[in-house]
Chains A and B, each alone.
Chain A
Amino acid sequence: GQNIDQPTEMTATEGAIVQINCTYQTSGFNGLFWYQQHAGEAPTFLSYNVLDGLEEKGRFSSFLSRSKGYSYLLLKELQMKDSASYLCAVLDSNYQLIWGAGTKLIIKP
């Protein structure tokens, strides 16, 4: 079967760093995506990893290890506006996205 696991909820402090983990078991792999979703809004694209390693984009970085079926999203210098759900999704062998349930990130002042 196909499975993507990520923590349900995390809490962090404004200005700090947080790492959101994602593990996956899917039929085929053509890349891993991270999306951000604010409450009541649509998911928006954050990052895409297809090769092992770290991709950095401003305050956000995403890491992938294909051999371990593992990815993480790293958010630095947290701001209150980063309070949102973060969705991990794998592009499977049919080029369809398989989604995790999302991690709700709560930022406290």
Chain B
Amino acid sequence: IAGITQAPTSQILAAGRRMTLRCTQDMRHNAMYWYRQDLGLGLRLIHYSNTAGTTGKGEVPDGYSVSRANTDDFPLTLASAVPSQTSVYFCASRNRETDTQYFGPGTRLTVL
């Protein structure tokens, strides 16, 4: 692995179903983030984690949950998907020395 990976690349999901988006980084960054990106809007922060074992809510956390059991993994779960959660989801991690965030390739999620 080099950088951040996300899975799946894309998914079509029926409303009401549970879904977990996976994110793994190999850069040993402490801070990680989940964003959603919708047409015409900036990236919006869903949840973040400053270090393993801690998480926090971002701008749009409702309907989403996260966990951070270790440094490398930061999964995002939709407990009961709704059509408004149709979006592109990006995971990112932050280099503490430069404050630069690095992004995974994204997951395109469609909820029908």
Q: Given the complex of chains A and B, what is the CA–CA distance between A31 and B31 in angstroms? A: 17
The answer to whether the Cβ of A99 comes within 8 Å of any Cβ in the partner chain is yes
Partner of A48 from the list B44, B48, B100 (CB cut-off 8 Å) is B100
Partner of B99 from the list A30, A42, A87 (CB cut-off 8 Å) is A30
Stretch touching chain B among A13-21, A54-62, A65-73, A90-98: A90-98
Q: Is the CB of B104 within 8 A of A91?
A: no
Interface range for B: 20 to 34
Contact with A along B16-57 (1 / 0, CB 8 A): 000000000000000101000000111111001000000000
Interface range for A: 20 to 34
Partner of A87 from the list B33, B42, B48, B105 (CB cut-off 8 Å) is B42
Q: Given the complex of chains A and B, what is the CA–CA distance between A44 and B45 in angstroms? A: 17
B residues 85-112 touching A (CB-CB < 8 Å):
90, 94, 98-106
